[in-house]
């Protein structure tokens, strides 16, 4: 039993927003996979693309990432995944959702990045 007290985890509003943005990004990539490809391929991309994005996030970007990267590497992984989700909405013809999601993800990422660099 560990008797050393660990500091309590603190979650701010941006942390909650980032979690929701991550989940929405994975959903968006999956939706794109199901809608943008013909039958049979849509199952491959609809399930495979978000699973690949989740794998990348878990390996490189999550708080308990298996492979640790510097802040720039983490930012690159995040930009690729969030950008892919915004691009998916653009490809599906939903430019308002693409722009709104992209701006929200960018602002949240900048806030988190400034906190990470501090």
Q: 117: pLDDT confidence band, cut at 50, 70 and 90?
A: confident
50 belongs to a structural domain: yes
Asked if 49 contacts 65 with a C-beta cutoff of 8 angstroms, the reply is no
C-alpha distances in angstroms, 116 versus 23, 38, 63, 74?
A: 21, 42, 12, 10
Arithmetic mean of pLDDT over the chain = 91
Q: What is the pLDDT of residues 14-72, one digit of tens each?
A: 999 999 999 999 999 999 999 999 999 999 999 999 999 999 999 999 888 999 999 89
Neighbours of 62 (CB within 10 A): 14
4 belongs to a structural domain: no
Q: What is the pLDDT of residues 76-109, one digit of tens each?
A: 999 999 999 999 999 999 999 999 999 999 999 9
Nearest partner of 110 among 20, 18, 25, 24, judged by Cα: 18
31 belongs to a structural domain: yes
1 belongs to a structural domain: no
2 belongs to a structural domain: no
Which range marks the domain in which residue 51 is found?
13-117
Domains of the chain: total: 1
65 belongs to a structural domain: yes
83 belongs to a structural domain: yes
């Amino acid at each position: 039993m560990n008797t050393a007290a660990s500091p309590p985890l603190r979650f701010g509003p941006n942390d909650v927003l980032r979690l929701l943005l991550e989940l929405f990004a994975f959903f968006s990539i999956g939706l794109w996979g199901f809608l943008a490809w013909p039958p049979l391929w849509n199952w491959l991309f609809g399930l495979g693309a978000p699973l690949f994005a989740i794998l990348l996030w878990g390996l490189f970007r999550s708080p308990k990432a298996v492979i640790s990267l510097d802040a720039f590497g983490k930012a690159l992984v995040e930009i690729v995944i969030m950008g892919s989700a915004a691009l998916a909405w653009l490809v599906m013809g939903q430019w308002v959702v693409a722009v709104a999601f992209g701006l929200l993800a960018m602002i949240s990422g900048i806030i988190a990045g400034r906190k990470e660099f501090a």
